[in-house]
Structure 1
Amino acid sequence: MELTETLALKFGVPVEAFRLILTLIAGYPIAAIYRKVIVNIETKALHHLFFAFCGLSLCYFNYGKDTYHSLLAISVTFVLVNLMRGAPHLLIGINFVFHMSYLLLGYYFTASNEYDILWTMPHCILTLRMIGFGFDVADGLKPADQLSKEQKETALRDLPSFLQLLAYAYFPSGFLVGPQFPYRRYQRFTNGEFLEHAGCVDAGLQRLGMGVLYLIVCQVGLSYLPDNYFLTPEFVQVNFIKRIFLLGFWAKFTLYKYIACWLFAEGALMCIGFTYKGKDAQGQPDWFGCTNVKLMLLETGNTMEHYVQSFNVNTNQWVAQYIFKRLKFLNNRNISYAAALSFLAVWHGYHSGYYMAFVMEYMIVSTEKQIERVYTREVLPKYGETLNNSMIYKILNFVALKSYNIVYMGWCLTSFVFLKYERWIKVYAAVNYFGFIYMIIWACMFRGYRFLVGKESRNVESTAAVTGKQSTY
């Protein structure tokens, strides 16, 4: 039995997960070696070779011969951008279809009932990186006045060598669980543009410390609330209110597993000096340019939209830049948003749970906006001053929003974790389908509200027409 398997068995974790954690932690000594030995070497090819070698070695450590999948994908993109630069739209299309098809075929041949740590996990990160790279190369062929501000910052006028593309794709601490970043950031980093700024190591070690804390809380929490507990008859026998809160706390602990991995990766990227964003409000260097989770918003937010804004930030930004905003020609934000969520669902795989999770995200965020609209229009104008001066209301409002935040997080994450229909529907049944029921009740109430408001508006307009006065409703 190899050393990693022995240690994994000793710590009581799957060997694949243990290798993943070791790989993320390896980013810190790699960062130290780069800053001490490589950073001042003038030959940039050695920088690229260092990153390519480290990334490939870590990939092989995790996935062995399956590393060829990522090598093949990178090679195909390199060939495409060199052969098809004269046809940018065709380049984008073929590059997109190839990477998504390869990823989905990988899912098809490796899928099981669980979230597996296989070669497909880093490959989904690579898929977005190579698709974005294709877009950036195509943008580099357009006149500057046809590009948005974001596109101007990422467009590539000159193509990198194959070694540079390998180093970008396998960048240590960035290839395994993200975050996403454009080639231009890697280019600026290796050109030394961020070297003059201090404080990256301190920021990175703080992020590492937060990652350790979240991982400990995750392990302790899930030891009391393991996934399988929610499929047992014992869970169904628990009081309903307790059931939905237990599911909510389980979801928080489950999220912490992802957050810990992202924090480990971000911390290593900070330590190497990769994540410079600019100056903050106090004029100090801001090292949060590749942040994948906004911890303050995540822990203090009260709505599902806050979760969306604070969780998997870089992936959401990637989808916004390369999918949502490029569908602007449809002239319909709802269609573009639905298309972006559909892309994310397909990108995750075939399991019905992914699709249900993103459908629920769309429905719940839309419902929250409707409630906010009614509250802003009907409640605040009449009772806003009274409510704002009431301590009892503030306390009740805080408790209600926090309870909603916890409870509905459990509802939303259920299908994402349990994946198969027969598993997540069993958990939904165990909590009496409350998420569906409450949203249906609200949809009926909101429809009635819109009807009444529309009727009132028509009456006001009719009165104004009769009296010859213009409606100000």
Structure 2
Amino acid sequence: MQFYFNIMVDLAGFVASKLGVPPEAFRLLLTLLAGYPIAAAYHKYVADRPKTLQHLYFALSGMGLCYYNYGTDTYHSLLAISVTFALVTVLRSKPLLLLIINFVFHMSYLLLGYYYTASNEYDILWTMPHCILTLRMIGFGFDISDGLRKEEELSKDQKETALRDPPNFLELLAFAYFPSSFLVGPQFPYRRYQSFTNGEFRQYAGYKEAGLKRLGAGVLYLAVCQAGLTYLPDGYFLSPEFAAQSFIKRIYFLGFWAKFSLYKYISCWLFAEGALMYLGFTYKGRDELGNADWTGCSNVKLKLLESGNTMQHYVQSFNVNTNQWVAHYVFKRLKFLNNRNISYGAALGFLAIWHGYHSGYYMAFLMEYMIVSTEKQIESVYTKQVLPKYGETLNNSKIYSIIYFFCLKSYNIVYMGWCLTSFVFLKYERWITVFSAVNYFGFIYMLIWACIYHGYRYYRKTQPREPRPSTSTKQD
């Protein structure tokens, strides 16, 4: 077996060298595309077999793909899954203790992995699928704990994911290593996997067509990504040539580079989503036309991504399942703090830690928090102060509509470049060089707005309030 794996690895390395791409990235691409023949084989040979055989098929397929990419480092994921199973077996009668130990173990193991393997680049090592596994096992621990609570204590979302009866070890392996999802996501609860293997989605049509469309979209986005990054490679933005460009060119070049860089992640998610659709795993319900909706595990909303014009639109359309996971298992469970801003900040802080130690991650999520908060402030001023006075005039002006669209699109492109810089360049010495090359415009414009906004609010508070007219009437 090892002999054949070595041949496949060497062959992929040879092809990758001819294409001029890193062998690890090429193997990752092959692994994502392998989800389609795995899905086809499942429908032909496995789908009508007993559930035990289905669990075995998914477990072995996923473990084989993991081994193809990471060799003996596969033991990290196997150990993590085994520990969770042991914790559930031993501590199921103590749900809070199970929850805490399971959470601490997985986050600690992942962070230790980052500590010993991290470099200056985005590494395609065993830690990449392990960060996906970490969320999956932590969420599984929450679902087991929720299953031990009284029904009336659970929220609507928790009722949909709570597990009353834990799976056996083979079922947990199949869930954790589920092909097309263990490498780059998407996340989903065990209850979805359970519904799929119970055959609850098989009656609905259109999953193969939906999967192939997603595959085509992935190929398109990957092609655009490769073409764009050929003209605007990462290293260009650290060079004197970039700093010598005019300011307008610099901020727009950075914005378009961010778009192309984003497409790298999007293409991977589209390949993974398409394979899950082709498998018939992603049923969501009926759409407005009554057809089966197969977007239940979509990690990117393409229409919103391309038509959106704010950072909030990016947040809503990008890495959707991970954001939903954080909302379900982190944000909503901090409701007891009674402060949405603190809960939102804690959720972003968790995401930053989950990504690793690089300062760029923390800066990226800090910028997301600051920019989304700023957008909400601007929207509030626009809807409460500007539209009531000038809304009719502005809405009837074609020139204003054109200017409004151009300004928002420009903001969308330019600030995406600013936000993604630290996330891609990771090390402080690298991303601060790019920030410096564009004159720190992201900080400056937000600071100017903060001064205007809070200064105006302070001014309003210091002004005497006009007395309200009396509504009472005096009767004779």
TM category (shorter chain) comes to: over 0.9
Aligned position for 2:182: 175
Which residue number corresponds to residue 169 of structure 2? Answer: 162
Query: Is 1:433 the counterpart of 2:440 in the alignment?
Result: yes
- The whole-number CA distance in structure 2 between the counterparts of 1:61 and 1:377 is 57
Partner of 2:3: none
TM-aligned CA deviation for residue 469 of structure 1:
7.0
Distance 1:86 1:204 in 2: 41
Number of matched residues? 464
Query: How far apart, CA to CA, are the structure 2 residues paired with 1:439 and 1:100?
Result: 33
CA distance in 1, matches of 2:206, 2:76: 37
Is the partner of 2:465 in helix, strand or coil?
helix
| Corresponding position: 1:15 with 2:15 | no
Corresponding residue of 2:301: 294
Aligned partner of 1:212 in structure 2 is: 219
Matched, 1:153 2:192: no
Letter in 2 for 1:99: H
Indicate yes or no: 2:447 matched with 1:447.
no
Give yes or no for the alignment of 1:378 onto 2:405.
no
Alpha-carbon distance between aligned partners in 2 of 1:354 and 1:228, rounded to the nearest angstrom: 19
1:185-215: CA deviations, max 9, x gaps?
0000000000000000000000000000000
Corresponding letter in the other structure for 2:35? G
2:69 paired residue among 62, 72, 90: 62
Q: CA deviation at 1:455?
A: 3.2
Verify: 1:34 aligned to 2:42, yes or no.
yes
Look up the equivalent residue of 2:260 and give its one-letter code.
F
Corresponding residue for residue 410 of structure 1: 417
User: Map of 1:119-134 to 2, 5 A cutoff?
Assistant: 119-134=126-141
User: After superposition, where does 1:47-446 map in structure 2 within 5 Å?
Assistant: 47-446=54-453
Counterparts of 1:452 and 1:390 in 2: how far apart (Å)? 32
> What percent identity do the matched residue pairs reach?
74
Alpha-carbon distance, 1:412 to partner: 0.2
| 5+ residue gaps, structure 1 | none
Whole-Å Cα distance in 2 between the matches of residues 400 and 170 of structure 1?
45
SS in 2 for 1:270: helix
Task: State the Cα deviation string for residues 295-340 of structure 1 (Å, max 9, x = none).
Answer: 0000000000000000000000000000000001111111100000
Q: Distance in 1 between matches of 2:90 and 2:394?
A: 65
**Counterpart residue type for residue 163 of structure 1:** L
Query: One-letter code of the match for 2:33?
Result: I
1:57-90 deviations in whole A, cap 9, x for unaligned? 0000000000000000000000001110111111
> Take 1:88 and 1:330, find their aligned partners in 2: how far apart are those partners?
22
RMSD in angstroms over aligned alpha carbons? Answer: 1.0
Misfit runs of 4+, over 4 Å: 467-470
Deviation at residue 454 of structure 1 after TM alignment: 2.1
Whole-angstrom CA distance in 2 between matches of 1:163 and 1:116:
30
- Counterparts of 1:44 and 1:355, CA distance in 2: 43
The CA distance in 2 between the partners of 1:335 and 1:459, in whole Å, is: 31
Cα deviation for residue 468 of structure 1 reads 6.2
Calculate the TM-score normalised by the size of structure 1. Answer: 0.97
- Partners of 2:173 and 2:327 in 1: CA distance: 25
Equivalent-residue separation in structure 2 for 1:317 and 1:109 (angstroms): 29
Question: Which amino acid in the other structure matches residue 33 of structure 1?
Answer: A
Q: 1:85, 1:328 → 2: CA distance?
A: 25
> For 1:438-467, what per-residue CA distance to the aligned partner results, in whole angstroms no more than 9, with x for missing partners?
0000000001111232234x422xx34xx7
Unaligned runs of at least 5 residues, structure 2: 1-6
Amino acid aligned to 2:448: I
Query: Please, what TM-score do these two structures have when normalized by structure 2?
Result: 0.96
In 2, Cα distance between equivalents of 1:26 and 1:65 = 20
Matching residue of 1:459 = 465
Q: How far apart are the structure 2 equivalents of 1:30 and 1:402? A: 41
Amino acid across the alignment from 2:342: I
* 3-state DSSP of counterpart to 1:459: coil
Which letter does structure 2 place at the counterpart of 1:26?
Answer: A
- How far off is 1:378 after superposition? 1.0
